Amino acid sequence: MAVKKKYPALGRGLSALIDTEDEIITAGSSSIHEVAIEKIKANPNQPRHEFDKTALFELGKSIQEFGIIQPITLRQMEDGYYQIISGERRWRASQQVGLTKIPAYIRTADDENMMEMALVENIQRQDLNPIEIALAYQKLIDQYNLTQDQLSDKVGKSRTAIANFIRLLKLPAPVQLALQDHSIDQGHARALLALKDPTLQNELLKEIKKQGYSVRQVEEMVKLLNAGEVVKSGKTRLKKPSASLPDEYNALKMRLSQFFKTKVQMTCSTAGRGRITIPFNSEEELVSIIGLFDKMKE
């Protein structure tokens, strides 16, 4: 069973070494060993896939100055090598500065516990971006045939939170990449999920990055698009693809366009719900349209 150990806030150099958030120290691993770096392998199930080069360089410089303050955690493999449970950043930075040995806790863990511990350790330190977390959750569910409720118990997150992360994997690849490189945040991504058309999701993504829209602004734009409205963003006009109307509805739309002397828009769902939009380009056109409504009352 994992025992969480907290450390007080330290200066920039030391905090880079020990990641001042919660660090997983596994039960039964109280003794520290010096392990040859060449005998250590990365965990292939490590949820984090991106390691900032600048941050690793700074960590390496700190290690050169102070040494390794917080041991990494390993498990011994049958081939005599060791696999990382937590502390891959420290291991990578130590390699870069030429260390040959690194202090480590050693424990035994099966593959499922390895993935679980690596995931929990990274989430606790908030090292993963949302897509990496979503992929890690999905891998645990698929590989070990878990339900979202079971996964919730294992990683200490609510089922709703897990479901919200996994939903992000339904987004088009450009949106997922933007979330990974922090071009947008998770709020933007959740708003884009409400649009079911991938092409429109990608178009709105471009406008978010170009115009710097807030999450609230994107939510409002999505509402308008889902209602069949045309949304103008800079020089771009965004429009939800409309389903083809039955012939009788198209005939009605043409009659309304002729009557109001403007291009009337009409949408209609399979359930019979729809919207009629009467656009105008000037105050004079609006007055003319209102006048036509007034005549219908007579």
User: Annotated active-site positions, please?
Assistant: 88
Among left, alpha and beta (phi > 0; psi -120 to 50; other), residue 157 is beta
DSSP readout, the chain? Answer: -EEEE------HHHHHHH-SS-EEEETT--SEEEEEGGGEE--TT-S-----HHHHHHHHHHHHHH--SS-EEEEE-TTS-EEEEE-HHHHHHHHHTT-SEEEEEEE---HHHHHHHHHHHHHHHT-S-HHHHHHHHHHHHHHHT--HHHHHHHHT--HHHHHHHHHGGGS-HHHHHHHHTTSS-HHHHHHHHT---HHHHHHHHHHHHHHT--HHHHHHHHHHHHTT-EEEETTEEEEPPPPPPPHHHHHHHHHHHHHHTS--EEEE-TTS-EEEE---SSHHHHHHHHHHHHHHH-
